[in-house]
Amino acid sequence: MSYIDVYKNWTNNEYFDKKTREELINIKNDEKEIKDRFYKNLEFGTGGLRGVIGAGTNRINIYTIRRATFGLANYIINKCGEEGKQKGVVIAHDSRFMSREFCLETAKTLAACGIKAYIYNDLRTTPELSFAVRHLGCIAGVVITASHNPPEYNGYKVYWSDGGQVCPKVAEEIITEVNKIENYESIPTTEETNKLITLLDDSVDTAFIEAVKKQVIRQDIINKVGKEMKIIFTPIHGTGNLPIRRALKEVGFENVEVVKEQELPDSNFSTVEYPNPEEKAVFDIAIEMAKENGADLIIGTDPDCDRVGLVVKDTEGEYVVLNGNQVGSLLVDYVLTQRKDELKDMKNPSIVKTIVTSELGAVIAKSFGVDCLNTLTGFKFIGEKINEFEINQDRTFIMGYEESYGYLIGTHARDKDGVVSSLLISEMAAFYYDKGMTLYEGLQEVYKKYGYYKEELVSMTLKGIDGMEKIQSMMANFRNSNIEKIANIKVEKLNDYKLGIDNLPNSDVLKFILENGSWVAVRPSGTEPKIKFYFGCNGRKKVEVDNKLQEMVKEITTL
């Protein structure tokens, strides 16, 4: 069936609600828009199902949510039978448009298939969903979120019984089930009052917070300075407000102030252009507050509270944003330093990072005799490693992190966790505060010891079918261009992860390793219409590294 035929079916079929059909009738003269909405179905990427809210097979709406859920339900039934149906699926959602509706549609479709569904009374964080899957003994979990994407997006991420996002093999098998569904009218649904749908009480929240608090290393330091060190926190209109403030308060951080303008859920994310803690602008209000009260630390989390951004004072007293590589490296250094006496009793203590994350953390880990393992981009692969370590009993997981502001300390969750990260970042800041230092100064100490490392990310947004074709063309050009030098530095090795190297799954990622230890990686985003270019450079002198990095960026972006 052509995309035009599918469009006509959605427009004329009374199975689809009146609002949906009217939305589609309004674009009847816009063939490009019709094609973009119907030329394909939404697909699972590194972050699951994600797309613009609207009518169409290539949009996220109650019908594509039902279809994805029916495919998941069929996979559970075929794979796990009655046991899977009884274990059930726990569902959480964030503060985005339609998130509650999509959560309920997911629960109703699962219940109609005879599968238990557990839902919360309100929004919850992604890391709590990851925790709840194992805490409740569920076969799977679903979180409705588009993470840090713009307001017009929403998404649907699936977790398996280990608490981690489904790995590519399972995702492909679920998609196979989803792709078998051609007739939306065949998808079962039921009422919200179905006895298989259970509303969770707050005991899961408490269990999650208690698990997070167990990751505290230096309670003595918190007891000493937790009342005086000033913290400003912003949930950027998302799910992090209650759990992070609760965790900080319960361990002893009492001087915490929330950004009032960004405290409450807001689907428009009206105070920011993008609800992304990677963007300095989301901290504008917080920084103004900090200038007034002299805050020592500013923390911000994205809408589903799995990413954390950080603002600290530099040596001049100015507030500066630390990037994900810097925060991750600081955490590696802090956690390993504070746990160094425990390391000798652990079996192969290990940290895990992604292939596009700074090598500084790996260098720090090596100095402590700790292994650093690399995974593909996407925290699902880090969560997968935790499960492997537990099954094989051959390694001890210390922490995992990625350059895109995601960190996990401990194994209570199997995804990046903004709650535990905010807690450990605050503890780390307290440690330096007690020494009369800021986290910025702590980072300079790390550079002084291990060398100066700097990274940069350049993204190009290319929307629609044409954009996708351009991204594919660019990847092909880089793959076949036989680049010998970048910024006049010899390319020592080209890692093409599409070939399935380093015991990693096949993935459309290229990484150029240069002879001085610098590197460049190129990949299409799995969650947005973007192609991403990652750059890493290191040396002893900051000015030389900064200059060389800019040469690399200029040359590759020109190409």
Check whether domain 218-450 has CATH 3.40.50.970, yes or no: no
pLDDT of residue 47: 58
Q: In CATH terms, are 218-450 and 452-558 the same topology? A: no
State residue 41's pLDDT score.
87
52 phi, psi to nearest 5 deg: -75, 140
Give me the CATH topology for the region 452-558: TATA-Binding Protein (3.30.310)
Q: Read off φ and ψ for residue 199, nearest 5 degrees.
A: -90, 120
Q: What pLDDT is stored for residue 42 in this prediction?
A: 84
Residues 57, 40: Cα–Cα separation, whole Å: 6
- Assigned CATH class of 40-201: alpha beta
Query: What residues have CB less than 8 Å from 480, skipping those under 6 apart?
Result: none
Tokens describing residue 380: 């699902």
Q: Give the angle subtended at the CA of 91 by the CAs of 89 and 92, to the nearest 5°.
A: 160
All residues at 6 or more sequence positions from 291 whose CB lies less than 8 Å from its CB, including other chains: 319
How many residues does this entry show for the chain? Answer: 559
| Active site residue ranges | 147
| Residue 100 near residue 62, CB atoms below 8 Å | no
State how far the Cα of 435 lies from the Cα of 171, in Å rounded to an integer: 48
pTM recorded for the entire structure: 0.95
pLDDT reported for residue 169? 87
The order of strands in the sheet holding 153-160 is 44-45, 48-52, 153-160, 140-144, 89-93, 117-119, 197-199
Neighbours of 291 (CB within 10 A): 12
231, 297 contact by CB (below 8 A): yes
CA-to-CA distance for 170 and 174, rounded, in angstroms?
6
Paired sense of beta strands 48-52 and 153-160, if any:
antiparallel
Residue ranges of the chain whose pLDDT lies below 50: none
Q: Which 8-state DSSP code applies to residue 156?
A: E
How does pLDDT run across 99-124, given as a tens digit for each residue?
999 999 999 999 999 999 999 999 99
Ranges of each domain in the chain: 40-201, 218-450, 452-558
> Is residue 378 helix, strand or coil?
coil
Neighbours of 3 (CB within 10 A): 18
CB 484 within 8 A of CB 490: yes
Q: What is the distance between the alpha carbons of residues 37 and 19, in angstroms, rounded to a whole number?
A: 16
Q: Tell me the pLDDT tens digit for each residue of 471-528.
A: 999 999 999 988 999 999 999 999 999 999 998 988 999 999 999 999 999 999 877 7
